[in-house]
A and B are shown apart, each in its own frame.
Chain A
Amino acid sequence: MNVLPIFILLPLGAGFIMLLSHRLGKRLPDFIANAAVFFLVLMAFSLYFFRTPGTVMIYKAGCLPVNIGVNLVLDGLSHLLLLTVNLVAFLITFYSVQYMERYTKAEKYFSLLLLMVAGMNGVVLTGDLVSLFIFMEIAAISGCALVAFGTESEELEAAFKYLVMGSVASIFILFAFIMIYGLTGTTNMADISQSFPGNAGHAKILITLLLFMGFGTKSAIIPFHAWLPDAHPAAPAPISAMLSGVLIKALGIYALVRIFFNVLGMTPQLSNIFTTLGVISLLVGVIMALGQWDFKRLLAYHSISQIGYVMLGLGLATPLGILGGLFHLFNHAIFKPLLFLAAGSVEYSTGTRQLKELGGLRRKMPVTANMSLAASLAISGIPPFNGFWSKLFIVIACIQAGKLWLAFAAVIGSLLTLSSFMKIQKYVFFNELPDRLRNVKESPWMMLSSMSVLALLCLAIGLFFPIVVSFLINPAVISVAGGISYGRLILGGF
C-alpha cells in the first residue's frame, strides 16, 4: 500500500472536520490538530526505514502511465523537506494550544494551519508543475489569512502587501510554467527533464528570469524581500515561526532547487546567479537586522540573511556546497522557529516586543531565556550547536571552489549575526528589569516544552552531526547532485 497521499489528505480532512467538531467540545480542535500532525511526523520519520536509499517512491493518481499522469514522488530531497515541514508543524501546533487562548476562534486558526501544512506537503511531494502551482497557492493563501488572523490594522496591511506580492509572483511562475509546457508539451517534471529542447535559447533565458522573480519573491531573497519584514512580525508568533521556518523554504528554495537542478539542469551561469543573490541577501539582510528595535522584525531580517546562506551553498553546485546548503536549511528550520517562539513567549508574558521596553527577563523567565540563548548561539554559528557545522561546510565549500571572497562574505555575515543576537540577549534578558515588568510570570508549560524540544534538537544535531548528515542530508544531496538523471530514475522504474 502506498502511503504518500495521506500526507496531503490527512491534514486537509482534519482541517475541515475541525470546523464542525468544535461544537462538540472546546478542546477537540486542539486535540485533532495535534494528533493529525503528530501522526504525520511519525510517518515521515518511519518512511526512512522503508525507502531504500537511491530509489524513489512513486504514487500514481489514476491508472495513467507515469510520464503522463499526475504523480506524487518521494526522493531524498522531498523526504528531507517532508520531515522538516511536519516536525516543525507539530511543535508549533503543540505550542499554539496555549498561545492561542488569547485569541478567539482557535478552531479556524488550526484549520488554516493544517491547510497550510497540506499545501506544503503537496509542494514537496508532487511530481507535476501544475499541481505544484496549485499546492503552492493553497499554502500561500492560507498563510496570508493566518498573517491577518488578529485583524488589527498592521496585520491587515501586512497581509494585503504579502498577498499582492505573492500573487504577482505566482503569475510570473505560471507564465514560466506555461512556456515550459509550450516547449515540451508536458507538465510532468520527470518527462520535462528528459525532453526539454537543448536549443531553446532565448525562451530558456526568459523562463529562468521569470522563475527567479517568482520563487525569489516566495523565498524572500534580497531584491524581492519587501513583504517579509512586514508579514513575519505581524502574524501570531507560531505563524511567524511557521512562515520563517518552513514556508519560505518549501515554496521558494525547494521549488527553485527542484526545477533548476533536476528539471532544467544546472549551468555555470545559473550557479553564478544563485551565489550572487545568496551573498547579497546574506550581507544586506544581516546589516538591516542590526538597526531594528522590534524583536520579531529583527528576526525576520535574519530569515533573509540565513536564506542567503542556503542559496550560497546550493549555488556552488559542488557536493560539499549542496550538503552545506541543505544542512543549513534543515538547521535553520530548527533554530529560527525556536527564536520566534521565544519572542512569542516574551510577548505573551510582557505584552510588548520593543527591545527598549524590555530587560532583565532572565530572572523572571529563566526557561525562555535559556532556550533563546541556545538558539542565538546556534544561529550565530558557535560550536557545538548545529549552525556552526553547516556554516563551516559552506565556508569550506566556497574555499574549495576557489571563491575566497564568498567565503569571506559568509564569515563576515556570521560575525554580524553574532553581534545582533548579542543585542537581543542584552536588551531582553540581561540589563536592568524595568518597574512595569516586576510581576511578569513564566509562560505556560506547553509553550515551554515545545521550545525545549527545539533547543535540545539544536544541541543534539550539533553534537551528533555525522549521524544526521549521513542519515538525513546525504540522500537529499544525492538526489540534488544527480541533476536531470532525476527524470530517468522516475521514468525508468516503469
Chain B
Amino acid sequence: MVEYLLCVVLLMIGVYCVAVKKNLIKIIIGLVIMEYAINLLIVVVGYRRGGMDPIADPAAANAIYVDPLAQTFALAMIAVGLATTVTMAAIAMRIYDRYGTFDITKIRKLKG
C-alpha cells in the first residue's frame, strides 16, 4: 500500500510546483515530476509480489511474472511526456525572446 501512497505524494509535489511556482521552467519541471509519478504508478500497478522478468521460462512452470503490459504503457507514456515537454520548452524559449523574462507575474498581456 505504501508504494501507492508514495506515488500520490510525488504527484502532489508536482501539482504544488505547477500551481505555486512563478517561473516557467519550474512549472515545466513540476509537470515532468507529475509525469514521473504517473509512470511509477503504472509500473507499481503491474508489479506482482515475488514476480520475475516477464520473459517466459519453460523450465519454471509455476513462476509468477510481473505484468509486461503495464511496463509497455510506461514506455509509451514516456514518449508522450517527451513530446509535451519539448513543446513546452520550445514555447518557453519563444516567450523569453518576446518578454525577456521567465517570470509569469510579468507575462500578462491576456486578461484571462
Give the B-binding residues of A (Cβ under 8 A).
130, 133-134, 137, 141, 144-145, 148, 151-154, 156-161, 163-164, 167-168, 170-171, 174-175, 178, 181-182, 187, 226, 229-230, 234
Asked, given contacts A141-B84, A230-B110, whether A130 binds B76 with beta carbons under 8 Å apart, the answer is yes
Residues of B within 8 A of A154 (CB): 109-110
Q: Do the beta carbons of B94 and A148 come within 8 Å of each other?
A: yes
- B24 close to A (CB within 8 Å): yes
Q: Do the beta carbons of B95 and A141 come within 8 Å of each other?
A: no
The distance in angstroms between the C-alpha atoms of A229 and B83, with both chains bound, is: 25
Q: Do the beta carbons of B84 and A137 come within 8 Å of each other?
A: yes
With CB as the reference atom, state the residue of chain A lying closest to B15.
A168
Contact of B87 among A134, A145, A151, A178 (CB under 8 A): A145
Residues of A within 8 A of B45 (CB): 178, 181-182
Query: Nearest Cβ distance between residue B77 and chain A, in whole angstroms?
Result: 7
Q: Do the beta carbons of B112 and A229 come within 8 Å of each other?
A: yes
The distance in angstroms between the C-alpha atoms of A156 and B98, with both chains bound, is: 9
- B92 close to A (CB within 8 Å): yes
Query: Nearest Cβ distance between residue A234 and chain B, in whole angstroms?
Result: 8
With CB as the reference atom, state the residue of chain B lying closest to A136.
B80
Asked, given contacts A163-B84, A164-B31, A226-B112, whether A156 binds B73 with beta carbons under 8 Å apart, the answer is no
Q: Do the beta carbons of B76 and A160 come within 8 Å of each other?
A: no
B: interface residue count bin: 20 to 34
Interface class of chain B by DSSP: helix
Known: A152-B98, A154-B109, A171-B35. 4 other contacts (CB 8 A): A160-B91, A164-B18, A171-B31, A178-B42
Asked, given contacts A157-B110, A171-B34, whether A163 binds B41 with beta carbons under 8 Å apart, the answer is no
Interface string of B68-112 (1 = CB under 8 A from A): 011001001100100110011001101100110000000101101
Q: Do the beta carbons of B88 and A164 come within 8 Å of each other?
A: yes
Residues of B within 8 A of A156 (CB): 91, 94-95, 98
Query: Nearest Cβ distance between residue B6 and chain A, in whole angstroms?
Result: 15
- B38 close to A (CB within 8 Å): yes
Interface string of B7-27 (1 = CB under 8 A from A): 000010001001000001001
The distance in angstroms between the C-alpha atoms of A57 and B16, with both chains bound, is: 45
Q: Do the beta carbons of A141 and B87 come within 8 Å of each other?
A: yes
With CB as the reference atom, state the residue of chain A lying closest to B42.
A178
Q: Do the beta carbons of A175 and B112 come within 8 Å of each other?
A: no
> B69, B70, B73 — which one has the most chain A CB atoms within 10 A of its CB?
B73
With CB as the reference atom, state the residue of chain B lying closest to A159.
B91
With CB as the reference atom, state the residue of chain B lying closest to A297.
B111
With CB as the reference atom, state the residue of chain B lying closest to A140.
B84
Q: Do the beta carbons of A141 and B83 come within 8 Å of each other?
A: yes
Residues of A within 8 A of B42 (CB): 178
With CB as the reference atom, state the residue of chain A lying closest to B112.
A230
Q: Do the beta carbons of B38 and A163 come within 8 Å of each other?
A: no
In the assembled complex, 11 residue pairs joining A and B whose CB atoms fall closer than 8 Å, in A order, are: A130-B76, A154-B109, A156-B98, A160-B24, A160-B92, A168-B15, A170-B84, A171-B34, A171-B35, A175-B38, A181-B45
Asked, given contacts A137-B80, A154-B110, whether A144 binds B18 with beta carbons under 8 Å apart, the answer is no
Residues of B within 8 A of A181 (CB): 45, 70, 73
Residues of B within 8 A of A144 (CB): 87, 91
Q: Do the beta carbons of A163 and B87 come within 8 Å of each other?
A: yes
Asked, given contacts A144-B87, A168-B31, A182-B45, whether A157 binds B107 with beta carbons under 8 Å apart, the answer is yes
Residues of B within 8 A of A133 (CB): 80
Query: Nearest Cβ distance between residue A118 and chain B, in whole angstroms?
Result: 14
Contact of B99 among A137, A145, A153 (CB under 8 A): A153
Q: Do the beta carbons of B76 and A134 come within 8 Å of each other?
A: yes
Q: Do the beta carbons of B38 and A171 come within 8 Å of each other?
A: yes
Interface string of B25-53 (1 = CB under 8 A from A): 00100010011001001100100000000
